[in-house]
C-alpha cells in the first residue's frame, strides 16, 4: 500500500455515533456530546445547569476557598498532589505567572495524559506545568527528582475523580455495571474482585467497619468473601440480597459504603495519606501553605490530627481553626461537593 503524502493525510474513518433510546443518553458510552465540550458547548452547559457533572470531566470543588487559603503568587512553586482533571491546577497556574510552576501528580495513568494535553492547550508549557505519574506518598522523591527542596504551596483533593467514578470500565460505578476493579492505577495491585475472592470474612468485616463505618459489616462480610464477583452490579445485588429487610434507600447507602471501603483498601488510601501527612512539613518551603480537601471522616480525622500535631511540634506556624465547608450555592450547583471539608496549614519560617 502506498503512503499518503504528509500534506494530504488520509481522512479519519467515519465512526457511527452511539444510538440510544429515549430523549437523553443514559450510559457513559452514549454521552459522546458531554465528552466533547469543545464541540458541544450547549449540551455541556445544560448538564451543568442541571447540577450534574458532564461525562468525562470533573468539577473542581471549593476553588475560591482553596485559592484564598493557598494564596498563590507569581514566581512560586506549587504541587497539586491529585491533578485529576486539572480543574484546581489551571486556576492556581494563572496566579503563578510569570515565572512560577506547578507540578501535577496523579496515580492514574489513563487520565493523566488527557489532563496534560488539556492544560497545555490552555497555554501552559513545560516551563510552567509538568505532570508526574506518581502516588503522592512519593511526593518527596518527585521534588528531589526535579531538583526542588520544597514547594510554596501544596494541594491534595482526596479520593477519586468524576471521570473515574462515571466510567463503568474503571469499576467504581454503583450506577452502571462494569468490571469490579476500582484501581486508580489499573496497571498495579489487585482489583476489588480479586481482593474479595481472597480476603477472610473477619478481615473484610474489620475493613468495612474501619473504612466506611459500615453497621452491617458482620452480616455482609461472610456473604461477600470467597466469591468471584466479576461486575459492580453483581456485588450490589449480593449486598441487597443479604439485607432484604432494609428499604431501598438504606440498601443504596450500604452499597455506597461497601464500595467506598473496598476502594480505600484496593488503593491503600489511608496509608498513602498518612505518608503524605508525615512528609508534608519537609516538602514545604518555610512559610509554605498546604490545603487538603477530604470527603469522609476517615480522611478528615487523619488530616486534623496531623495538622494539630504539626502545630504542637512547631512544624506549622498556623492551622485552620474551624473546618471550611462548601457554600450552600456550591452544594446545590454541584451535589458532589456536599461532603467536602477543607483544612489548611502554614509551615513555620
Ligand X SMILES: C[S@@+](CC[C@H](N)C(=O)[O-])C[C@H]1O[C@@H](n2cnc3c(N)ncnc32)[C@H](O)[C@@H]1O
Task: Find the binding residues for ligand X in span 174-193 (CB under 6 A).
Answer: 184
Instruction: Give the distance, in angstroms, between the CA of residue 16 and the centroid of all CA atoms in the same chain.
Output: 32
Give min distance, CB of 13 to ligand X, in A. Answer: 31
Torsion sign, CA atoms 132, 136, 138, 139: positive
Contacts from 219-222 at CB under 8 Å and sequence distance 24+?
A: 219/243, 220/254, 220/258
- Residue 28 vs 136, nearer CB to ligand X: 136
Return the residue of 107, 220, 239, 264 that touches ligand X, per CB under 6 A.
Answer: 107
- Nearer to ligand X (CB atom), residue 83 or residue 320: 83
Q: Does 129 bind ligand X (CB under 6 A)?
A: no
Between residue 270 and residue 329, which ones bind ligand X under the rule CB under 6 A? 272
Q: How far is the CB of 106 from ligand X (least distance, A)?
A: 5
Contact 65, 92 (CB under 8 A): no
Residue of 60, 104, 171, 288 that binds ligand X (CB under 6 A): 60
Interface residues for ligand X in 62-101 (CB under 6 A)? Answer: 82, 84-88
User: Cα–Cα distance between 200 and 177 in angstroms, integer?
Assistant: 25
Report which DSSP code applies to 178: -
Q: Given candidates 31, 33, 35, 58, which one binds ligand X under the rule CB under 6 A?
A: 58
What Cα–Cα distance (Å) separates residue 282 from each residue in 48, 144, 146, 254, 272? 40, 12, 15, 39, 16
- Distance in Å, CB of 138 to ligand X, minimum: 8
Name the residue number minimizing CB distance to ligand X: 84
Segment interacting with ligand X, rule: CB under 6 A, options 6-14, 104-112, 168-176, 321-329: 104-112
| Least Å from the CB of residue 259 to ligand X | 15
Query: Residues 146, 201: contact at Cβ < 8 Å?
Result: no
Give the three-class secondary structure for 284: strand
Question: How near is the Cβ of 345 to ligand X at its closest, in Å?
Answer: 18
Measured CA to CA, the distance from residue 221 to residue 63 in angstroms comes to 39
CB of 70 to ligand X, least distance (A): 12
Q: What is the DSSP letter of 152?
A: E
Helices (H), 187-230: 192-198, 201-212, 217-224
Q: Which positions lie near ligand X, rule CB under 6 A?
A: 58, 60, 82, 84-88, 105-108, 111, 135-136, 157, 159-161, 184, 272
Amino acid at each position: 500500500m502506498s503512503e499518503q503524502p504528509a500534506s494530504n493525510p488520509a481522512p479519519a474513518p467515519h465512526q457511527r455515533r452511539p444510538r440510544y433510546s429515549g430523549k437523553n443518553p443514559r450510559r457513559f458510552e452514549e454521552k459522546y456530546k458531554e465528552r466533547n465540550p469543545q464541540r458541544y458547548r450547549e449540551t455541556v452547559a445544560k448538564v451543568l445547569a442541571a447540577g450534574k457533572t458532564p461525562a468525562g470531566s470533573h468539577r473542581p470543588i471549593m476553588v475560591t476557598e482553596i485559592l484564598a487559603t493557598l494564596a498563590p503568587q507569581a514566581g512560586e512553586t506549587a504541587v497539586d498532589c491529585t491533578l485529576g482533571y486539572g480543574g484546581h491546577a489551571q486556576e492556581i497556574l494563572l496566579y503563578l505567572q510569570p515565572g512560577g510552576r506547578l507540578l501535577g501528580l496523579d496515580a492514574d495513568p489513563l487520565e493523566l495524559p488527557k489532563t496534560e494535553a488539556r492544560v497545555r492547550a490552555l497555554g501552559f508549557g513545560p516551563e510552567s506545568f509538568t505532570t508526574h505519574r506518581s502516588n503522592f506518598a512519593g511526593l518527596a522523591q518527585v521534588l528531589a527528582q526535579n531538583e526542588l527542596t520544597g514547594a510554596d504551596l501544596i494541594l491534595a483533593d482526596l479520593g477519586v475523580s468524576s471521570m473515574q467514578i462515571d466510567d463503568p470500565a474503571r469499576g467504581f460505578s454503583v450506577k452502571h455495571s462494569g468490571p469490579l476493579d476500582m484501581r486508580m492505577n489499573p496497571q498495579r495491585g489487585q482489583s476489588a474482585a480479586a481482593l474479595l475472592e481472597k480476603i477472610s470474612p473477619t478481615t473484610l468485616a474489620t475493613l468495612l467497619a474501619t473504612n466506611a463505618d459500615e453497621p452491617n459489616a458482620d452480616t455482609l462480610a461472610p456473604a461477600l468473601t470467597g466469591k468471584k464477583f466479576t461486575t459492580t452490579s453483581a456485588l450490589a445485588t449480593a449486598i441487597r440480597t443479604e439485607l432484604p429487610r432494609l428499604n431501598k434507600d438504606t440498601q443504596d447507602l450500604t452499597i455506597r459504603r461497601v464500595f467506598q471501603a473496598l476502594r480505600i483498601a484496593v488503593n491503600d488510601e489511608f496509608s498513602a495519606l498518612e505518608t503524605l501527612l508525615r512528609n508534608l512539613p519537609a516538602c514545604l518551603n518555610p512559610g509554605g501553605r498546604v490545603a487538603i480537601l477530604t470527603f469522609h471522616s476517615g480522611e478528615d480525622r487523619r488530616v486534623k490530627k496531623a495538622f494539630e500535631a504539626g502545630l504542637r511540634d512547631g512544624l506549622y506556624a498556623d492551622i485552620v481553626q474551624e473546618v471550611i465547608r462548601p457554600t450552600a450555592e456550591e452544594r446545590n450547583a454541584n451535589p458532589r461537593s456536599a461532603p467536602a471539608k477543607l483544612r489548611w496549614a502554614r509551615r513555620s519560617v
